[in-house]
Amino acid sequence: MFTGIVAAVGRIETISPAPGGVRLHIAGNGLGMEDVTLGDSIAVSGVCLTVVAFDKSGFEAEVSQATLGSVAGFAQGTAVNLEKALRLADRLGGHLMTGHVDGTGTVSCFEPVGDNRRLVITAPSAISRYIARKGSITVDGVSLTVNAVEGDSFEVNLIAHTLGATTLQQLKPGASVNLEVDLLARYIERLQESASGK
């Protein structure tokens, strides 16, 4: 589990072939690898990956072809948002997320509002029903609050701190982003289905 509070902005240094997919070498850029062990989970721009090798400067993870085909932002040289898995003693500053991307959205607007930025994203229709005003959404691994929803599009406000601490400052209209909807929305839907006998 993760919180969507980015700990560091890393970079995909190399991508090499691996059985069934590829192997990424990711520079941690200050992530802090002293408490990382083999098999740990690290969210990379919202995608939960397993550490298969590491040193003080970064880590390696393998990604299947299926995952590569369903997420955005995994290219050599790409900056990525990094977060180590949540520990029970940690503060929950964002919201609970799994690191399982529900779909990729498309940036339709990214405009300045004072020191902040107004970000509008069009989500896939299959997941847009889970996005609610004042609810939580994960965009490229960053926990955000939804300000408005219209059809398949939703709007968030990015404050200066978030822009400076994540890759979201680099977004442009037309860019693809990884989205994970709030877990609570999925559980509520399932409970409603069970209650109605579906």
The tens digit of pLDDT for each residue in 3-59 reads 999 999 999 999 999 999 999 999 999 999 999 999 999 999 999 999 999 999 999
Question: Distance between CA 120 and CA 110 in Å, rounded?
Answer: 7
Portions of the chain given CATH number 2.40.30.20: 8-84, 103-192
Q: Which fold has domain 103-192?
A: Elongation Factor Tu (Ef-tu); domain 3 (2.40.30)
Please choose, from the candidates 182, 188, 132, the residue with its C-alpha nearest in 3D space to the C-alpha of residue 155. Answer: 132
Residue 161, H or E segment: helix 160-165
Question: Distance between CA 53 and CA 126 in Å, rounded?
Answer: 36
pLDDT tens for each residue of 84-112: 999 887 888 888 899 999 999 999 999 99
What predicted TM-score, i.e. pTM, was given to this entire model?
A: 0.94
CB 120 within 8 A of CB 100: no
pLDDT surpassing 80 at residue 196: no
Q: What angle do CA 139, 49, 175 make, to 5 degrees?
A: 30
Where residue 198 falls among pLDDT bands split at 50, 70, 90?
low
Question: Distance between CA 88 and CA 19 in Å, rounded?
Answer: 34
CATH of 8-84, one of 2.40.30.20, 3.30.930.10, 3.30.470.20, 3.40.1390.20: 2.40.30.20
Q: Phi/psi at 127 (nearest 5 deg)?
A: -115, -10
Please choose, from the candidates 151, 139, 51, 149, the residue with its C-alpha nearest in 3D space to the C-alpha of residue 97. Answer: 139
